[in-house]
Amino acid sequence: MVRLVFVVALGLAVPALAQDAWKWDPHGRRAAAVGDRFFQVEEMSQEIKSKTTSTKNGVQDEDEVAEIKFRIVHEVLAVEGTEVTKERVSIERWSYASKRGGKLEEEDKSATGRAVIVEVKDGARTVTFEGDTTGLTEHAKKWAKDTLSRADQMDQVDKLFPKGPVKPDEEWTIDPTALASEMFEKAKIDAEKSKCTGKLTQVKEEDGVHTGEVAIKTAIQLKQVPGTDPIDWKEGGLVDMSVNMKGSLELEKSRDRSFQLDLKLKGRAEQEDKKKDKVSVEMEMSMKVSFKMGDMPKK
């Protein structure tokens, strides 16, 4: 009886040891294959409130709100080696709305129901709308170029993941200087007051696929206002961003995963130009992004 209990206990322990030995490779990808299909759903909202005061121009208030929502389906049409060289992207729904100075602009849905061919030519990716493009707005064209010209839809998020495999409940650090450079056009930061970390939790195996949660927290202390020439922060300037991912940890088996991103930035900056014109800028920015992707059956 003692030996039987020992054998049963040993048998139960083997799967546990195998699970403990498993590590997440955040950069693993599925082999490219013609006919492969997957969907992508995204909603992004951004709000910027700013107040500029100068001795020359007085007070200027600028408030802007923008929102983009879409659902698209990718279908691989051609592959060379490990690279997708041609795909068709069906835009099932798409909308863009903005409000400036309290005035709501008409909602743009001009890309809904259209399709785009993304093709690699001479090492460059081209994005071309199928058929007649009459009525397609510049907002829609810019969105298609910026969003669909990326070879990998996960490339931006990859910058937040660890460089190599990690175990469940393991933490990693992210270089705040490199991250700030990607996000804010090489903005200068106070590295001592900045910190970016990530952690993998809730790992389990479902239907042969490891799933889990990834929580990323960043605090980046900017020295200058992004996009200025330059204007130093006098107060605030801290970028507070969190990214949470849930779902598949093995994209080679399943693409089913979702993301939530929240970003906040607030501060006051001052500058005096050569003509002694003193400029003060108060800015508050918030951004929310939700993203979901998943596999679809081949046609």
> Tens of pLDDT along 12-52?
444 443 445 899 999 888 888 999 999 999 999 999 888 87
Distance, in Å, from the CA atom of 53 to the CA atom of 64, rounded to the nearest integer, reads 18
Rg (CA), the chain: 24
Would you state the pLDDT for residue 103?
72
Distance, in Å, from the CA atom of 238 to the CA atom of 222, rounded to the nearest integer, reads 6
* pTM recorded for the entire structure: 0.84
Residue 19 in contact with residue 167, Cβ under 8 Å? no
Distance, in Å, from the CA atom of 193 to the CA atom of 176, rounded to the nearest integer, reads 10
- φ/ψ (deg, to 5) at 187: -65, 145
Q: Is the dihedral of CA 179, 183, 187, 193 positive or negative?
A: negative
Distance, in Å, from the CA atom of 298 to the CA atom of 76, rounded to the nearest integer, reads 10
Residue 248 in contact with residue 26, Cβ under 8 Å? no
Calculate what percentage of the chain has a pLDDT beyond 90: 62
Would you state the pLDDT for residue 151?
65
Q: Is the dihedral of CA 165, 263, 68, 281 positive or negative?
A: negative
- φ/ψ (deg, to 5) at 292: -140, 140
> Tens of pLDDT along 174-224?
999 988 888 887 678 999 999 999 999 999 999 999 999 999 999 999 998
Neighbours of 195 (CB within 10 A): 14
Residue 279 in contact with residue 52, Cβ under 8 Å? yes
Residue 254 in contact with residue 295, Cβ under 8 Å? yes
Place of tokens 């920015």: 285
> Tens of pLDDT along 239-253?
999 999 999 999 999
- Total length of the chain: 299
